[in-house]
């Protein structure tokens, strides 16, 4: 029964974070998403592995820049641009609103504004350029590490800050339910495992750079809207991804 419960939570994480087909979850409970956060980085491992496979294959026939773009496109297809959507909405809301209430209203607007469009362009450019600086195998491993670590940082942000919006108006039920510290630690176990192939000092540098960017995004949201929303968590994940790729490109 315990194993079946964990499999259910893993399927919940896959269903929530990706467009991958999964068996239907019966008797869904509002806290399942919070409980499944321990597996968010594990889902990231899978997304990163698929994107990394595309990168390695594309490098056989295309330039590094085009291979990187195709690898990122594969990740967007797998996830439905789930976190990128949060990145865009968070920048539009945090920088476009005049007060917490106004910022939250802007975040719920599906249209892309100036701040969100600029943030999306910069993030894609940084990721593509960073991947282009890496060899095929290095780039594939970097994608696995970035997708896993980014999701771990978003789980930590979910734990460290309160939900800032109206839970009844959130995109998923139980949005205000936060993961436990045990679930956060489990998430970081999965999230940082792909960095074990690096020398310890380089791995530490990657964690510090990615963690700093994720922390800045988390702190900014805490100051401007009082905590996190789903969009903010997506932005934290993207900040972590960018930090991992930049740090690896710089060191390797």
Q: Per-residue pLDDT tens for 121-159?
A: 999 999 999 999 999 999 999 999 999 999 999 999 999
Task: Quote the pLDDT of residue 70.
Answer: 98
**Range of 189's domain?**
2-251
Q: How many residues does the chain have?
A: 252
Supply the angle between the helices 200-225 and 230-251 in degrees, to the nearest 10.
150
pLDDT band per the 50, 70, 90 thresholds, residue 49: very high
228 to 143, 164, 233, 236: CA distances (angstroms): 25, 5, 7, 10
* Per-residue pLDDT, 220: 97
Distance set, CA 37 to CA 13, 26, 65, 66, 201 (Å)? 7, 19, 33, 33, 28
Asked if the model's pLDDT at residue 1 lies above 60, the reply is: no
- Asked if pLDDT for residue 227 goes beyond 90, the answer is yes
User: Given a cut of 90, is residue 5 above it in pLDDT?
Assistant: no
Q: Could you report the per-residue pLDDT of 150-198, keeping only the tens digit for each?
A: 999 999 999 999 999 777 666 666 677 899 999 999 999 999 999 998 9
Cα–Cα distances in angstroms (integers) from residue 65 to residues 92, 101, 123, 133, 161, in the given order: 28, 41, 15, 9, 37
CB 113 within 8 A of CB 96: yes
Provide the domain count of the chain: 1
Q: Quick one: pLDDT at residue 251?
A: 63
């Amino acid at each position: 029964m315990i194993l079946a419960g964990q499999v259910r939570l893993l399927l919940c994480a896959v269903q929530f974070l990706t467009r991958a087909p999964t068996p239907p979850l019966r008797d869904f409970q509002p806290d399942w998403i919070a409980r499944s956060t321990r597996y968010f980085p594990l889902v990231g491992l899978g997304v990163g592995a698929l994107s990394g496979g595309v990168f390695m294959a594309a490098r056989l026939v295309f330039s590094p820049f085009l291979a990187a773009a195709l690898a990122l496109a594969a990740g967007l297809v797998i996830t439905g641009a789930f976190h990128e959507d949060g990145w865009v909405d968070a920048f539009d809301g945090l920088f476009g609103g005049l007060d917490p209430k106004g910022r939250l209203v802007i975040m719920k607007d599906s249209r892309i504004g100036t701040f969100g469009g600029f943030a999306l362009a910069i993030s894609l450019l940084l990721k593509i350029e960073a991947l282009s600086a890496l060899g095929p195998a290095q780039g594939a491993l970097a994608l696995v590490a970035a997708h896993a670590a980014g999701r771990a940082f978003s789980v930590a942000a979910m734990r460290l800050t309160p939900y800032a919006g109206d839970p009844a108006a959130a995109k998923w039920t139980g949005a205000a339910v936060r993961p436990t510290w045990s679930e956060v630690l489990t998430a970081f176990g999965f999230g940082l495992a792909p960095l074990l192939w690096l020398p310890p000092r380089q791995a530490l540098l990657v964690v510090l750079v990615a963690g700093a960017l994720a922390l800045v995004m988390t702190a900014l949201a805490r100051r401007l809207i009082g905590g996190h929303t789903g969009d903010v968590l997506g932005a934290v994940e993207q900040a972590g991804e960018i930090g991992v790729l930049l740090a690896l490109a710089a060191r390797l």
